[in-house]
Amino acid sequence: MLRTITIGTCVSVQGLLVKQLDNGQIVIRVGERLYQGTPIPRAS
Is residue 21 domain-resident? yes
**Cβ atoms 13, 30 nearer than 8 A:** yes
**Cβ atoms 34, 2 nearer than 8 A:** no
pLDDT at residue number 41: 86
Is residue 44 domain-resident? no
pLDDT at residue number 44: 75
Quote the number of domains for the chain.
1
Please tell me the distance from the alpha carbon of residue 35 to that of residue 4, in angstroms, as a whole number: 10
Q: Please tell me the pTM assigned to this model.
A: 0.86
Is residue 30 domain-resident? yes
Nearest to 5 by CA among 34, 27, 30, 32: 27
Is residue 15 domain-resident? yes
Q: Using CA of residue 30, residue 34, residue 40, residue 42, what is the dihedral sign? A: positive
pLDDT tens-digit map of 1-44: 899 999 988 899 999 999 999 999 999 999 999 999 999 987 77
